[in-house]
C-alpha cells in the first residue's frame, strides 16, 4: 500500500500528550505504523559519556502512531490524504483543498 504520510511532510498531532503540536516527519516505519516527528513525543534519555559524545540527559523524539497524525495542507489545516492518477502517475492530494501534494 502506498504511504499517505512520508518523510519531510508537515503534520499535526491529533491525539496524545502532544495534541495540537506541529512538526516535520523525520522517519517513517510503515511495518510498525509509526513515525518520528521533530519535537513531538520527546522523552529524556540518560546516556553515559563516550569518546565521541557528551553524556547526560538527552531529549529524544520517540515514534508516534500514524493514526494520531494528520497532514497539514497549504492553509495550515489538518487534512486527510487521498490518491488519484494524473496521466500515468499516482499522486497524493489533500482532501480538503484537492491540491496535489507531491507533483
Model confidence pLDDT, tens digit, residues 15-24: 999 999 999 9
Please check the confidence at residue 70 and state whether its pLDDT lies above 90.
yes
Task: Specify whether the CB–CB gap between 58 and 64 falls below 8 A.
Answer: no
Query: What local confidence, expressed as pLDDT, does residue 3 receive?
Result: 83
pTM: 0.83
Model confidence over 1-49: pLDDT tens digits?
568 999 999 999 999 999 999 999 999 999 999 999 999 999 999 999 9
DSSP bridge pairs for 81: 94
Query: What local confidence, expressed as pLDDT, does residue 18 receive?
Result: 93
The three grid cell numbers given for residue 3, joined into one nine-digit string? 504511504
Which residues have C-beta within 8 Å of that of residue 74, sequence separation ≥ 6?
Answer: 94, 97, 99
The three grid cell numbers given for residue 2, joined into one nine-digit string? 502506498
Closest Cα to residue 24, out of 42, 36, 41? 36
Amino acid at each position: 500500500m502506498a504511504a499517505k504520510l512520508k518523510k519531510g511532510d508537515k503534520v499535526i498531532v491529533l491525539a496524545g500528550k502532544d495534541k495540537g503540536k506541529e512538526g516535520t516527519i523525520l522517519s517513517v516505519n510503515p511495518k510498525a505504523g509509526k513515525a518520528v516527528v521533530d519535537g513531538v513525543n520527546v522523552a529524556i534519555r540518560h546516556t553515559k559519556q563516550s569518546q565521541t559524545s557528551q553524556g547526560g540527559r538527552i531529549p529524544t523524539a520517540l515514534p508516534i502512531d500514524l493514526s494520531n497524525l494528520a497532514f497539514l495542507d497549504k492553509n495550515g489545516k489538518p487534512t486527510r490524504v487521498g490518491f488519484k492518477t494524473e496521466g500515468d502517475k499516482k499522486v497524493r492530494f489533500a482532501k480538503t483543498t484537492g491540491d496535489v501534494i507531491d507533483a
